[in-house]
Amino acid sequence: MIIIRLIILLVVVAILLWLLKRLFSPDPEPEQLQATRPENMRQCKYCGVHVPESAIVSLKDESYCCQEHADLDQQ
């Protein structure tokens, strides 16, 4: 029954190699997901530039790319 021992040994070695491979090459998926995650784009009312919603400056229900443009448009 040496063949069964050999197969078990091979499986154990394969699992160890797989674990080592995972350990030394971390999965880049979470970072990639974050980079490609779609974000709503809003247009600056003053200069027309498209800015991600998280970076938008809101003033009186209008969207601006920066505080400066918000101030300039309100003048």
User: Least Å distance between CB 72 and Zn ion?
Assistant: 8
Binding footprint of Zn ion on the chain (CB under 5 A): 44, 46-47, 65, 69
Closest among 74, 54, 75, 52 to 62, alpha carbons compared: 74
**CB-wise, 42 or 46, nearer to Zn ion?**
46
Question: Least distance in Å: CB of 64 to Zn ion?
Answer: 5
- Asked if residues 62 and 69 have their Cβ atoms less than 8 Å apart, the reply is no
CA distance 36 to 54: 15
Q: Supply the minimum distance, in Å, between the C-beta of residue 48 and Zn ion.
A: 7
